[in-house]
Amino acid sequence: MVRVNGIPLEEVNQIKYLGRIFKKDGLLDAEVNNRIRSGWASYHNIATAISELPEKEKNHFLKSCVIGAITYGCETWNTKVEDVKRIQRSVNYIWDQAQAGKPPNIETHIMKSKLRWAGHVVRLPQRRLCRIITIWEPPNGVKRRRGRPRGIFERWSDDIQSEVKVHQHNINLQGLGGGGRRRIGLISNKMALVTIGEIKKFLETSSPQLHARIMDYQSIKVSTNL
């Protein structure tokens, strides 16, 4: 049992917090369903208003309203291929129904959002809780077993690392001044290179010793009885 300030917390398999559904097993299926419903609700709210607009303007409104709703919180997702495909299908249906032209690539949108968030995290001060939690590792040498866990997706940091490698490989092929297409979409070279460099340095220098910094947050006392 987990206690916060002496108060026992109920253990549940699923909880909704700040609009996002978290599951005990870490899977995103419930959250994907939630996001798809939100996307369709956003579309129906503006469908009548945009029905007579030109295709280009429809596309703009849908990207602003629907994509924002359907990918809310995607910066921290650790998605499986099936999750992205389900969201992409829903986006395709919405764009087709609205006759708004070519739908956006959801995989690209999610990865760009994740890289942008990773860039924010690496620029945070060392003592910021968000940064500490992101790179935290269990104390006393506890490590994850080698190899990919069966039936489980990549961790968020694993996904970022693999994308950084792909991005860096493409940059090397293009040359440092190249402006070719990449899996994460078209990004200005200066912004991409700075962000990728910061993320690489951040991932390479993260240390389990930062666990000690969590002890600075003594205002909330947490105890566990297993």
Express each pLDDT in 131-174 by its tens digit: 777 777 666 655 666 655 554 556 777 777 776 666 555 555 55
Mean pLDDT value across the chain:
74
The residue type found at 136 is W
- For the segment 79-98, the average pLDDT, to the nearest whole number, is 93
Q: By the 8 A CB rule, do 199 and 118 touch?
A: yes
Query: Which stretch of 15-29, 82-96, 101-115, 149-163 has the lowest confidence by average pLDDT?
Result: 149-163
For residue 3, the cross-strand partners are 8, 223
The residue type found at 154 is E
- Reduced to 3 states (helix: H, G, I; strand: E, B; else coil), residue 66 is helix
For residue 21, the cross-strand partners are 16
Cα-Cα-Cα-Cα dihedral sign, residues 13, 16, 18, 20: positive
What pLDDT is attached to residue 180? 41
Give the best-scoring range by mean pLDDT among 42-46, 111-115, 181-185, 194-198. 42-46
Q: Is the pTM of this model over 0.75?
A: no
Beta strands in 10-150 (DSSP E): 14-17, 20-23
Of 146, 152, 147, 189, residue with least CA distance to 168: 189
Cα 113 from Cα 98, distance rounded (Å): 25
Cα 15 from Cα 97, distance rounded (Å): 33
